[in-house]
């Protein structure tokens, strides 16, 4: 019996060759905010490895939206490298998406050279900084930056964009009651908190036209009391659909508080500290890392119940992400009505993972969820550390 995973799918005018999409996994390969040869090769290899669409992770829509100097930043100077990247991916028969995002209060002050922006004034322990509350003018400027970045992404040859409205970044900071204490039209009620993200999606849809894939990554929960609830998430999903989203990617976690809620598995505190360039953050990780960074044991399909709630709330395609590490896991998600599956660490472990599932040489990933690859992102680029150290078969 043929597997659904390897069947094509039409997403808002884009034909995907199968249902496996590489999730946005910060690569740490964009020194100066530009696509490096290493970044291009990373995504070319993923395309050659059978993925239907690869997602270039974390592209800042403006220079003040970055946490690290190795994050992409969308501007004219970035176009030549990104055009080489999309051409390389297309040559291997895959599609390319790019994750558009602004860090908000989690931005690195030393990286951006100024005080970070946020939905409301908030102290960030990871950055030892306090952001300033965005004005109405700031909101307009950042909405325009998202739209400009999306238009430039299409010019660079990308087949889709993924708006990052989860994980505690700027759009998520407006959605979350924990970071949004505003008293104007952009704060207070759930409807007001989602106004800015919906403004971004709506204007992006107007600029890109009616047939161009706009995926939205969103939280089903921030991972702590006082953050986004499941009820908030259902309302957000419906609002994103109404604003013009093509598909949704339900996720979980808040970078400044619960960064491993999405990843699950080991927390490589000391490896993260070793690669941290900010001396304050490095010392904080060494002294308080185990207390600051909560651990979540890995379990298969750990977001299924919450993802079902989002799937049932909307009429647009919904991706499944979270603990799908085998062919059987992915087939389960697709059999339940999810349009496609996003996978991350399995493809860091083996860029040819999807081809392996297709030809039968693999039935599941042997990634051990050590998360050393997360620490490696800040130390020269993401790679499977366990493999390089000979710790895995």
Q: What is the CATH number of the domain that holds 79?
A: 3.20.20.70
pLDDT band at residue 216 using 50, 70 and 90 as cut-offs: very high
Give the model confidence (pLDDT) of 292-307 as tens digits.
667 888 899 999 999 9
Indicate the number of domains in the chain: 1
Which residues have C-beta within 8 Å of that of residue 244, sequence separation ≥ 6?
201, 202, 204, 205, 206, 214
254 falls within a domain: yes
Cα 133 → chain centroid:
24
Q: Domain for residue 370, yes or no?
A: yes
What is the C-alpha to C-alpha distance for residues 354 and 372, in angstroms, rounded to an integer? Answer: 22
Torsion of CA 350, 354, 358, 360, to 10 degrees: 30
Indicate the average pLDDT of the chain.
91
What are the C-alpha distances in Å from 234 to residues 229, 309, 314, 331? 9, 7, 9, 24
pLDDT in tens, 316-327: 999 999 999 999
98-107, 259-268, 381-390 — most confident range: 98-107
**pLDDT value for 87:** 98
pLDDT digits (tens, 9 = 90+) for 349-375: 999 999 999 999 999 999 887 877 766
Confidence at residue 260, expressed as pLDDT on a 0 to 100 scale: 84
Residue 280 in this model has a pLDDT that exceeds 90:
no
- Residue 393, in any domain of the structure: no
Residue 272 lies in a domain: yes
What value does the mean pLDDT take over residues 219-224?
A: 96
Where residue 391 falls among pLDDT bands split at 50, 70, 90? Answer: very low
Of residues 385 and 60, the one with the higher pLDDT is 60
- Give the Cβ contact number of residue 391 at 10 Å: 12
Given a cut of 80, whether residue 381 has pLDDT beyond it is no
pLDDT over 60 at 45, yes or no: yes
**Catalytic pick from 58, 169, 296, 320?**
169
Q: Domain range for residue 26?
A: 4-388
What pLDDT is stored for residue 19 in this prediction?
98
Determine contact, residues 250/310, Cβ cutoff 8 Å.
yes
**pTM as predicted:** 0.92
- For residue 287, name the pLDDT band (cuts at 50, 70, 90): very low
Structure confidence at residue 393 as a pLDDT band (50, 70, 90): very low
Nearest in space to 317 (alpha carbons), one of 48, 83, 53? 53
Q: Is 169 a catalytic residue?
A: yes
Pair 220, 306: CB distance under 8 Å: yes
Return the pLDDT at 2: 75
User: Residue 60 belongs to what H/E stretch?
Assistant: strand 53-60
Q: In the structure, what pLDDT confidence band is assigned to residue 313 with cuts at 50, 70 and 90?
A: very high
- Percent of the chain past pLDDT 70, that is, above it, reads 89
Tokens 């690195």 belong to which residue? Answer: 108
């Amino acid at each position: 019996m043929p597997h659904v995973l390897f069947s094509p799918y039409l997403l808002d005018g884009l034909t995907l060759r199968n249902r496996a999409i590489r999730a946005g996994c910060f690569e740490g390969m964009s020194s100066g905010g530009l696509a490096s040869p290493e970044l291009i090769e990373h995504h070319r290899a993923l395309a050659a490895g059978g993925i239907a669409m690869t997602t270039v992770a974390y592209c800042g829509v403006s220079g003040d939206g970055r946490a690290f100097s190795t994050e992409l930043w969308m501007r004219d100077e970035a176009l030549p490298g990104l055009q080489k990247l999309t051409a390389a991916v297309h040559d291997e028969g895959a599609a390319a998406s790019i994750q558009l995002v602004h860090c908000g209060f989690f931005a690195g002050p030393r990286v951006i050279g100024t005080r970070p922006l946020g939905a409301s004034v908030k102290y960030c322990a990871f950055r030892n900084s306090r952001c300033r509350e965005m004005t109405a003018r700031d909101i307009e400027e950042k909405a325009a930056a998202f739209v400009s970045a999306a238009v430039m992404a299409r010019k660079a040859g990308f087949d889709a964009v993924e708006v990052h409205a989860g994980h505690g970044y700027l759009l998520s900071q407006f959605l979350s009651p924990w970071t949004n204490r505003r008293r104007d039209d952009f704060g207070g009620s759930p409807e007001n908190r989602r106004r800015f993200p919906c403004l971004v999606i709506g204007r992006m849809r107007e600029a890109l036209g009616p047939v161009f894939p706009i995926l939205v990554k969103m939280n089903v929960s921030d991972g702590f009391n006082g953050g986004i609830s499941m009820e908030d998430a259902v309302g957000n999903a419906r609002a994103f659909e109404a604003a013009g989203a093509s598909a949704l990617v339900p996720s979980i976690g808040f970078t400044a508080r619960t960064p491993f809620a999405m990843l699950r598995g080991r927390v490589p505190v000391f490896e993260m500290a070793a690669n941290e360039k900010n001396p304050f953050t490095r010392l904080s990780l060494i002294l308080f890392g185990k207390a600051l960074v909560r651990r979540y044991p890995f379990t298969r399909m750990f977001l299924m119940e919450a993802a079902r709630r989002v799937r049932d709330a909307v009429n647009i395609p919904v991706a499944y992400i979270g603990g799908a590490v085998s062919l059987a896991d992915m087939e389960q998600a697709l059999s339940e009505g999810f349009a496609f599956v996003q996978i991350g660490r399995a493809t860091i472990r083996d860029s040819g993972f999807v081809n392996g599932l297709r030809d039968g040489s693999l039935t599941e990933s042997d990634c051990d969820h050590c998360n050393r690859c997360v620490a490696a992102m800040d130390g020269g680029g993401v790679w499977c550390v366990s493999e390089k150290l000979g710790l895995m078969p």
